[in-house]
Structure 1
């Protein structure tokens, strides 16, 4: 698939996604960029490492901007996102793959928990609508 077709497909995905799906897409994108940053360290492609760490941090900033701080879970997510940003920053400076791997694992757990929670919420909504 050429780049223009990929961009069009991604734009359509974003435009038609439910809000919870957009969050899942951000999680997926962040994981993808962190993996690419890790590969950049392994292959000594430091430009790629830097670009992909910055993309990951940009996504974390976007996730931070969507938090509603009146909820306790938002405060916990805020701390976790900030922690990951710091680890990625340190990984960038120190060329530390283990910091990136730690962030990949944290983000993967978050994504899996988010998707499971949204599926349960969707299932509950369907059951309530049928009652």
Structure 2
């Protein structure tokens, strides 16, 4: 029963989120999968590591294709996404923790910046801040 309530909460969170909040959820999901991949790599659970890296890569691909190509910032973001994606590939193929950490660092920077953008936007619009 508790799991069903959690699933309903999760679905409601996604369905009612703003586009900015959805992007934040993607960054957090990507970081979660990278963390799980690192844990699996350290435990020599290579099948799990592979699955988690592929999930993180799927999120990065989604972030790449949804970038507004007309925005000047996208020309700076796209190479960083590409680098993180490539680092995940190398981490997966070579079981390289350093590459995994490099990808994590880039995504964390994006996530932290995005969180601040959302906070500033809420303050600007409503005088509210987020505790996310």
Q: TM-score, normalised by structure 1?
A: 0.90
1:44-55 equivalent positions in 2, closer than 5 A: 44-55=44-55
Runs of 5+ unmatched residues, structure 1: none
Q: For 2:81 and 2:61, locate their aligned partners in 1 and report how far apart those are by CA, in whole Å.
A: 8
Cα drift, residue 3 of structure 1: 4.6
SS at match of 1:71: coil
Gaps of 5+ in 2: 128-132
Aligned length: 127
CA distance in 2, matches of 1:10, 1:24: 14
Q: Structure 2-normalised TM-score?
A: 0.89
The structure that is helix-richer by fraction is 1
Decide whether aligned partners of structure 1 residues 43 and 84 sit closer, same or farther in structure 2, where only a CA change above 3 A counts: same
Cα deviation, residue 122, structure 1: 1.9
In 1, distance between residues paired with 2:4 and 2:56?
23
Q: CA deviation at 1:4?
A: 4.0
Q: Which has the higher contact order (CA 8 A, sep 6+)?
A: 1
Displacement of 1:113 after TM fit? 0.7
Between stretches 87-96 and 115-124, larger displacement belongs to 115-124
